[in-house]
């Protein structure tokens, strides 16, 4: 029996594989003012979560140990939007109140989530805008398995020790068995901010449905960008990673913490934040098959972007950390087929 991968099947074969669902929709027209956090009604497709019991079971776990997580759509995070992780708590509590049968009988489950706008311009979420997804972490690729995956399932266009480096669970270890991830450099010359200047024909607010529905969303986003000047201080900026490609067998989760040097992540628990360091906002998932090769992206404009919230830090962030996971393929809904 072969295994095909399709959206819509709620029963992944075991909990060791990465999984993600279709996008959750804005339930009503909502405006998120610059610098504010607001409550946004949402519509959750039944196929957007693994199962009733899986969602409810997350309540028994500390928030930083939960496997079911939230990923803001990257194209919207690049305009300052972040969906708060506690939507899983809201959803689980709502499921308990509804009961399993009522959840199973619903095509869409109405709920809500808190959404933050870190940018300088209001963001508009029209009804039915797709703006985040739920995903379940799988078995992380570590140790010698991660070394074997490099160059085959994970290809980074750069030099080891300069553009990327293995991360170890102990800051003094260099034993391959202790590898827990990969630190990847943020390109120094490719950093951007959301512009306060209104270009010709632009409105002060940004309609996010026009970004999600754009045939070339990268070009649409660039209309709102200015290049970040050296030593310029802003709350949020956007960086570019070296060109990379993931195979259909691998997904990547990025640490929330952003690091200043290649050695900084060694010995760090990725689920613990110190409250001061810069952080990567809520689009921290690279799907299987993600990536752009340098040949296909000569100008660097279509490279994978990272969204950095400086908070009040003066630390200069230079590296994000990849935590690769095994996946059976793309998309990562599982359906057994003869």
pLDDT value at residue 252: 94
Q: DSSP labels for 167-210?
A: EESSTT---GGGEEEEEEEPPTT-EEEE--SPPTT--SSEEHHH
pLDDT value of position 238 = 92
Is residue 135 a contact partner of residue 71, using CB atoms and an 8 Å limit? yes
pLDDT at 119 over 50: yes
Name the band, by pLDDT with cuts 50, 70 and 90, for residue 302: very low
Q: What is the pLDDT of residue 122?
A: 97
pLDDT digits over 68-109, tens only?
899 999 999 999 999 998 899 999 999 999 999 999 999 999
Instruction: Report how far residue 334's alpha carbon sits from residue 8's, in angstroms, rounded to the nearest whole number.
Output: 8
Across the chain, mean pLDDT equals 83
- When pLDDT is averaged across residues 315-335 and rounded to a whole number, the result is 69
Asked if pLDDT for residue 28 goes beyond 80, the answer is yes
Number of neighbouring beta carbons within 10 Å of residue 186: 21
Looking at the predicted structure, is the pLDDT value of residue 332 above 60?
no
Q: pTM of this prediction?
A: 0.85
* Confidence (pLDDT) at 139: 86
Q: How far is C-alpha 250 from the chain's CA centre?
A: 15
Ranking 4-13, 136-145, 279-288 by mean pLDDT, the lowest is 4-13
Where do the domains of the chain lie, and which CATH numbers do they carry? 2-137 (2.70.40.10), 143-326 (2.70.40.10)
Would the pLDDT of 167 be above 90? yes
Q: Which has the minimum average pLDDT: 2-11, 52-61, 231-240, 243-252?
A: 2-11
How much is the pLDDT for 318?
Answer: 86
Higher pLDDT, 196 or 117: 117
- The whole-number average pLDDT for the span 230-240 is 87
The Cα 224–Cα 203 span in angstroms is: 11
Pick the residue with more confidence: 244 or 303?
A: 244
Q: What is the pLDDT of residue 312?
A: 72
* pLDDT class of 46 with cuts at 50, 70, 90: confident
């Amino acid at each position: 029996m072969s295994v095909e991968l399709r959206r819509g099947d709620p029963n992944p074969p075991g909990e060791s594989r990465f999984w993600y669902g279709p996008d959750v929709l804005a339930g009503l027209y909502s405006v998120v003012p610059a610098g504010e956090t607001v409550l946004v009604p949402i519509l959750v497709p039944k196929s957007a979560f693994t199962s009733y019991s899986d969602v409810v079971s997350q309540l028994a776990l500390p928030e930083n140990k939960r496997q079911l997580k939230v990923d803001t759509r990257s194209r919207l995070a690049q305009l300052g939007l972040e969906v708060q992780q506690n939507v899983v708590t809201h959803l689980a509590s709502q499921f308990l109140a509804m009961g399993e049968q009522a959840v199973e009988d619903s095509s869409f489950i109405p709920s809500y989530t808190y959404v933050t706008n870190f940018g300088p311009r209001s963001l508009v979420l029209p009804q039915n805008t797709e703006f985040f997804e739920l995903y379940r972490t799988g078995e992380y690729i570590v140790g010698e398995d991660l070394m074997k995956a490099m160059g085959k399932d994970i290809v980074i266009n750069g030099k080891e020790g300069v553009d990327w480096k293995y991360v170890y669970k102990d800051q003094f270890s260099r034993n391959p068995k202790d590898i827990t991830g990969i630190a990847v450099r943020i390109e120094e010359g490719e950093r951007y901010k959301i512009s306060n200047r209104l270009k010709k024909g632009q409105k002060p607010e940004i309609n996010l449905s026009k970004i999600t529905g754009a045939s070339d969303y990268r070009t649409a986003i660039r209309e709102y960008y200015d290049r970040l000047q050296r030593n310029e201080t802003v709350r949020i900026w956007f960086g570019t990673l070296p060109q990379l490609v993931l195979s259909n067998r691998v997904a990547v989760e990025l640490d929330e913490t952003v690091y200043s040097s290649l050695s900084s992540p060694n010995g760090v628990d990725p689920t613990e934040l110190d409250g001061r360091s810069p952080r990567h906002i809520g689009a921290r998932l690279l799907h299987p098959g993600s990536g752009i090769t340098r040949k296909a992206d000569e100008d660097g404009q279509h490279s994978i972007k990272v969204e950095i919230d400086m908070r009040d830090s003066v630390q200069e962030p230079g590296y994000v950390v990849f935590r690769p996971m095994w996946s059976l393929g793309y998309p990562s809904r599982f359906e057994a087929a003869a």
